[in-house]
Structure 1
Amino acid sequence: MRWLVITLVVIAALVAVMVAGPQIIGDKGYVLITLGDKAVEMTVVSLAISLIALAIAWWIVKQFIRWIFSLFKGSHNWFGSYGDRKRRRAFYRGLQALAEGELLEAKRALQRTTDGDFDGVNYLAAAQVARALNEPDRMRKLLEHAADYKHSKVAATLVLARLEIETNNPEAALKHIDALEEKDQKHPQAVRLRAEALARTGQWQTLQHNLNEWKRPLGDDYVMWSERIAKGKFAEIASKQGANQLKLYWEELPRKLRHDDAYRAAYVKQLLEQGMHSDAQTCLIEWQKKGPHPLLLPLFKEINLPNASPSIQAIESWIKQDDKNASLYSALGHVAFNSDDLVLAEKALLKSIKLSENREDLTTLARLYEQRNDDNQALLFYKQSMEVQ
């Protein structure tokens, strides 16, 4: 259409010149066209009208030819569009069937999407179906296909790494994560999976070296990982070199780590596992001089000494300052129970479940009444513990 407008404007300008020219010089003018033996004579106005008619006819013919070509070319698009629509319907049905729990139908539907352009999402969905159907080999192949697509590579690789960890193959999980681009390796889930794989391969030193850098992606799990790293390192030393070497290793740690509450908790746990309850008690009291700490206080429950009076005195002093704290009564009750002070244990545990009922304290109370041969009370607390979420 644009071409037609331009042509008409040019012809109109030409006609204006041809018409106005003769009038200015007082001559109507004529045009003579010779084609071999034939001659055509017409006025300027007739020529202008002929040119306009010719331009319009040419535009119509051109549009007609273009339309004819589009019919032949469009036949391919019609078939292609039909195939695309079928694959899209299969893709949507596959997702719906997956959400409905119709796994076999989802599998069949998604199998019809392999030639479609879904940016790898169809393979990710099919892999999820394969996982639900317990087809790990097929799931792995589907994820590998999904990883070939740029926008699905990270998701597919993370699922593959998670699958390797679940199947106790952490080395392969690390290889998958290493295959990601550097910026994608900083993805929070990639960091978490790397940490898990390193832990399962016993690479505690590497974990410790990277922990501060991973603080942000680990988020709320940072403290847990700090404690887990410390526990893993301490357990390795204790198992290979003994408890005394563990104590020496602790003393040689940098001051910053020795003042880290997660490291302290891990160290105390390892002392308890090594049967060094007296040393554990000393550490717990020393490190909580300013008051109870949420990571350290629960560890009092594992103290098992005939004479746990230092722990009992410390906890009782905290209760005087906060007599509505169920955690303090719970810790006191367990320490007393483990040291065979059943009277104090009963009093403290009953107070604890009154403030905040929990299964651990109810079960300990049941054991306490069993020791007293009070089967009715023991059964009552066992039943009560089973009802607590």
Structure 2
Amino acid sequence: MIKILVALLVLAAAMWLGPMVFSQPGYVRIVLAGYTLEMTVVGLVIMLLVAALLLWLAVKIVRWLWALPSRSLGFFRWRRRQKAEQAFQEGLRAYARQQWQDAAQLLQQAMTEKKYHDEKLTLISYAAFYAGQQEQADQSVRQLPADEANSWFVKADLMIQRGQAQQASLFLQDKVEQAPKACGLGQLYLYSLQQAGQWQMLLEQIPAALKYRWFSKVQWAAQRYQIYPKAISSLVQDGSFSEQADYWQELPGKERKSVAAVIGRAWAKANQGHSDQAERLLVNTLALVDLELAWPYLRQIPLGRSVLQLRKQVQHWLHDHPSNGYLYAMLSWLAEQEGEQEQARLAWKKAVQYQPELAASLR
């Protein structure tokens, strides 16, 4: 509304002043250095407007010419950035396809753009390592920031993959103390101890793993089976396992009583010739919900003929859960322990029928 009102006022002023100006245009005389210039007031106004327009255009042209070098450099920088981003995208695709050499080359080209600098170095380290270019992998690792958990992880992980688990565990020992909340670093530290066979030290680190939550609840439920059976049986074989030892007593009671820990103790007792004690431990501890995770470790326990109580327990469960393949797998294993090969074969056939994924457990 206001705009319309203003437009009407301007139009009215033009209609009022226009005839007056054209009927009495007036004139302007300029005398300068012997020259005289005469023109109407309207002509002067038009000339000033044209001069202002030319001055504005001149300023624009000068500014454009002044910025031309930086514009040219900006174009080249933009072009270089575009090439780096394209190389980064293609390098990621090659990495996903496990084309390691191509990935390393493309990601190295992407390093001309500083964005995602550390991430690119990390990927180059792995790609070069998998491509067999050890020197390039080590060089990329050295370029990573020396005081960050990600850099420590990459360096230790490549050590482990080279078969240097002992060196990796020594390297990570100090780093985990510096960054105890770095879950990935903590997980890798436990894994390095496993690969190095440092079972006692591994058990000593479990309170820290629980305190700083290196694993989620679901992850830890599975991780127990990766730790306790092998750790306990190995320590027993070395003659260094004791339930009174500090490293064992410092574990939370829930951990010491866990199914995974009991399987480890049963494994150790069976290997010491106490199969009846091993069976009793399993009968008193195992529950139906534990079988899926426990099965790969249970089947390695040499119970011999001490399977009667455990067989009864499994058959009791099977009565209420006739389509549970893990129960048939247990019956197959127990039959093998007693030397009943045909019965074991039939039970295993049933197990694979109900749980096809069990077929992979024998590979």
**Which TM-score bucket, shorter chain as reference?**
0.5 to 0.7
Alignment of 1:352 onto 2:347: yes
After superposition, residues 281-296 of structure 1 pair within 5 angstroms as 281-288=279-286, 293-294=290-291
Give the 3-state SS of the residue equivalent to 2:243 in structure 1: helix
Pair 1:208–1:275, CA change in 2 (3 A)? farther
Match of 1:214 in 2: 213
- Normalising by structure 1, what TM-score? 0.64
Match of 1:370 in 2: none
After superposition, residues 177-326 of structure 1 pair within 5 angstroms as 185-186=182-183, 189-197=184-192, 199=194, 200=196, 202-211=201-210, 213-214=212-213, 217-218=215-216, 220-231=218-229, 234=232, 238=236, 245-246=242-243, 255-288=253-286, 293-294=290-291, 299=298, 302-305=301-304, 308-322=307-321, 325-326=324-325
Match of 1:362 in 2: none
What displacement does 1:115 show? Answer: 2.7
- Normalising by structure 2, what TM-score? 0.67
Show structure 2 runs of 5+ residues with no match. Answer: 1-9, 354-358
Higher relative contact order (CA 8 A, sep 6+): 2
Amino acid at match of 1:52: L
What displacement does 1:179 show? Answer: 7.1
State the percentage of identical aligned residues. 19
After superposition, residues 335-374 of structure 1 pair within 5 angstroms as 335-339=334-338, 342=339, 345-346=340-341, 348-357=343-352
CA RMSD of aligned residues (A): 4.7
After superposition, residues 45-60 of structure 1 pair within 5 angstroms as 45-60=42-57
Pair 1:207–1:34, CA change in 2 (3 A)? farther
Pair 1:274–1:122, CA change in 2 (3 A)? same
CA distance in 1, matches of 2:157, 2:86: 30
CA distance in 1, matches of 2:98, 2:312: 57
1:68 to 47, 65, 68: 65
Give the 3-state SS of the residue equivalent to 1:280 in structure 2: helix
Give the 3-state SS of the residue equivalent to 1:246 in structure 2: coil
Give the conservation status (yes or no) of the 8 Å contact 1:198–1:204: no
What displacement does 1:55 show? Answer: 0.7
Deviations 1:355-375 (A, max 9, x none): 1249xxxxxxxxxxxxxxxxx
CA distance in 2, matches of 1:124, 1:253: 36
Show structure 1 runs of 5+ residues with no match. Answer: 1-12, 359-384
- Give the total of aligned pairs: 331
Give the conservation status (yes or no) of the 8 Å contact 1:162–1:173: no
CA distance in 2, matches of 1:285, 1:213: 33
Give the conservation status (yes or no) of the 8 Å contact 2:233–2:264: no
Pair 1:348–1:252, CA change in 2 (3 A)? farther
What displacement does 1:276 show? Answer: 2.9
What displacement does 1:52 show? Answer: 0.9
Deviations 1:260-319 (A, max 9, x none): 32332233233334443222122122235x768415677377343455544444444444
Deviations 1:65-96 (A, max 9, x none): 22322434333334444544555555556556
